[in-house]
Amino acid sequence: MKGPLAVVTVVGLLACVPLAGASNVTLNFLIVAMLAALVGQGWNILGGYGGQYSFGHAAFFGSGAYVTAILQVRYGVNAWVGFGCGIVAGAIVGGVIGFLVFRSGLKGSYFALVTLAFAEVLRIVGSVAPITGAGVGTLIKLDLRPEALQFQSRAIFYWLILLLVFISLLIAERLEQTRFGAWLMAVRENEDSARALGVDVFAVKMGAAVLSAAVTAAAGCFYAQYFLFIDSSIAFGSRVSVEALLAAIVGGSGTVFGPLAGALAVRSLGEVAKLVAGDAPGVDLAIYGAVLVAVVAFAPRGIVGLGATLWARLRTGEAGHLAGSSSRG
């Protein structure tokens, strides 16, 4: 099953979970997992499809979160409007960073380092600037009304984040079916070849950066509304950046469902690790790390890639070399 139908089916099934009488704990887990999936999909657009490995997606997440929160708290803007502004703000930050980094022709590890640096600069600014609440952070007033984009029921929050994930999945699915997506993947594979075939490499990267930042910022906006509190290390800390690329890479970067599968896997693993390790500090992180190493070593194309390989093997009964199983850096 492929294409939009697959997206609708998967999201449809996920949407049924609250109806099946899931507990608040389960819903909370799923909401956090969907947040990771959304951040991961944002990363996937630029990193997975475009091959630009960013370590600084927190810059976009934090911009969305702060703009949503600050507009409400300091300027009394409606939360829904703030949410929209947050997405736009993230896209603008993406455009500015993209412009600076791609104009200077930074690639590979340099790109990763510079994006990380941008996020760190924003984190430091966020921890001292008065408008962000500096070290104290920003608290959004509890106001459980739909107009204020706050809900008594976790199920509604869950459906809201699922809607955002749904949109992000459709964006990824479109990338695989349009010229822009084909150009983006060509840029990932080989910039010189792409250029020789008429691809405006700079414009394509810029488009991907803005789109990627907007999706990631949406996750930030949601975070602010759901937890009603942010500070600069939550918003701009490297945790979000790492979570973004983990979800995408573990699930399968450059695939539609990779970030969703990766987010669910990584989050579940986190829970299991906590159970196993109990309160022993750091053990859950060690387990986490070990699984990551295993994924990178044995399933370089992530869960989705592994699934596709196993499925192909099952169908053809062929144990040897398979086209789909070859690794990509």
Partner 1 sequence: MADSLLKVDQVSQRFGGLLAVNAASFEVEADSITALIGPNGAGKTTLFAIIAGFQNPSEGRITFAAEEITGIEPHLLARRGLVRTFQIVQPFATLTVRDNIAVGAHLRHPDRRAALDKAEIIARQLGLGQLLDRPAENLTVSARKRLELARALAAEPRLLLLDEVMAGLNPSEVRDLLPVIRDIREGGTTILLIEHVMQAVMNLSDRVHVLAEGKIIASGRPEDVVDNEEVIEAYLGEGAARQYGTSGRPS
> CA-CA distance, 289 to 55, in Å (whole number)?
17
> What is the nearest approach in angstroms of partner 1 to the Cβ of residue 10?
23
Q: How far is CA 93 from CA 15, 69, 155, 311, in A?
A: 32, 17, 31, 41
Angle among Cα 94, 197, 109 to the nearest 5 degrees reads 40
Q: Among 104, 152, 190, 268, which residue sits at the site for partner 1 (rule: CB under 8 A)?
A: 190
Please count the other Cβ atoms lying within 10 Å of the Cβ belonging to residue 160: 18
Tell whether residue 183 is a contact of partner 1 (CB under 8 A).
yes
- By C-beta, is 216 or 255 nearer to partner 1? 255
- By C-beta, is 50 or 90 nearer to partner 1? 50
Two tokens, residue 220: 């930030």
Tell whether residue 194 is a contact of partner 1 (CB under 8 A).
yes
- By C-beta, is 143 or 200 nearer to partner 1? 200
> What is the nearest approach in angstroms of partner 1 to the Cβ of residue 322?
10
Smallest CA-to-CA distance from 8 within 25, 16, 176 is with 16
The identity of residue 114, as a single letter, is: V
> What is the nearest approach in angstroms of partner 1 to the Cβ of residue 204?
10
> CA-CA distance, 126 to 119, in Å (whole number)?
10
> What is the nearest approach in angstroms of partner 1 to the Cβ of residue 317?
19
Site for partner 1 in 197-256 (CB under 8 A): 197-201
Tell whether residue 172 is a contact of partner 1 (CB under 8 A).
no
Task: Please report the sign of the dihedral spanned by the C-alpha atoms of residue 83, residue 224, residue 47, residue 322.
Answer: negative
- By C-beta, is 153 or 327 nearer to partner 1? 327
**Residues binding partner 1: number (CB under 8 A):** 22
> What is the nearest approach in angstroms of partner 1 to the Cβ of residue 176?
9
Q: Among 29, 96, 195, 274, which residue sits at the site for partner 1 (rule: CB under 8 A)?
A: 195
Site for partner 1 in 269-328 (CB under 8 A): 323, 326, 328
The DSSP secondary-structure symbol of 320 reads S
Helix (H, G, I), strand (E, B) or coil at 139: strand
Question: Residue 242 in contact with residue 62, Cβ under 8 Å?
Answer: no
Q: What is the binding site for partner 1 (CB under 8 A)? A: 177-179, 182-183, 185-186, 189-190, 192-201, 323, 326, 328
